[in-house]
Amino acid sequence: MKTKGFIFDLDGVIVDTAKYHYLAWKALAKSIGIDFTVHQNEQLKGISRESSLNKILEWGNKTLPKDKFMELMKEKNNQYLSYITTMDENEILPGVTQILDYISQRKHPIALGSASKNSKIILQKVNLLDWFDAIVDGNNVTKAKPDPEVFLKAAKAINTPANQCIVFEDSVAGIQAANVANMISIGIGDSTILNEADFVFKDFTEIHVDFLERLIKTKKEELKKV
Ligand code: G6P
Ligand code: MG
């Protein structure tokens, strides 16, 4: 049996920070006279800080000079950081610690594949950093999801071929990135939103050991047929 590599997105998969990104972007957008819906917010999940601001400006039909753009990105991040200062283990999403434990006991490598530049601080705050063999995040990539760069770099960092990697994602852009990378994509969240994923679960408590065993034993090409 070949070793499988497990790649986790961070925000909305490992920790409940997607809500803080939403609140911070919503306030920032409001300050420049733009509003957007929870539905539109799905498009902001998984993409970089810069791409998010570009999308919000597009929704509001606005353009900004470079210095103002940079200032707003900083403002959003400061607001976001203020939300996460008091974060601790309580914000780890259900079933995450158990699945990390299951995978590492079986000696499969674990990587983070996130667009966030704050990933290390967050993993430290919730005390999960030590589970990861590699961290690839917004500080190491130049192309935002749905580009597969972040996942391909993560696969390389854990020395596992792309088609032996399994990606957990809560965003449409992230599922698309995993699919383009030829990895097994597992959506965590709403199956109507994440309908491009190979499999979708509401949260990790819905993923049972028999499914994990099948994931580990079966080749990507065979997996969906079983
Ligand atoms: C994640 C989140 C996005 C966020 C992006 C950048 O992918 O899903 O909502 O905008 O990371 O995060 P950062 O913490 O660097 O602003
Ligand atoms: Mg996410």
Fold classification of 18-84 is DNA polymerase; domain 1 (1.10.150)
Please give the number of the atom of ligand 1 that sits closest to the Cα of 145: 7
pTM greater than the 0.85 cutoff: yes
pLDDT at 221: 81
Query: Active-site residue among 11, 137, 203, 210?
Result: 11
Ligand 1 close to Cβ of residue 148 (< 6 A): no
Q: What is the SS3 assignment for 70-100? A: HHHHHHHHHHHHHHHCCCCHHHECCCHHHHH
**Going by CATH, does the domain composed of 5-16+89-225 fall within 1.10.10.1150?**
no
137 part of the active site: no
Write out pLDDT tens, residues 164-189: 999 999 999 999 999 999 999 999 99
Ligand 1 close to Cβ of residue 174 (< 6 A): no
Write out pLDDT tens, residues 82-135: 999 999 999 999 999 999 999 999 999 999 999 999 999 999 999 999 999 999
Are 46 and 194 a contacting pair, CB within 8 Å?
Answer: no
Are 160 and 134 a contacting pair, CB within 8 Å?
Answer: no
The number of beta carbons lying within 10 Å of the beta carbon of residue 74 is 11
133 part of the active site: no
Ligand 1 close to Cβ of residue 55 (< 6 A): no
Are 188 and 178 a contacting pair, CB within 8 Å?
Answer: no
Structural domain boundaries in the chain: 5-16+89-225, 18-84
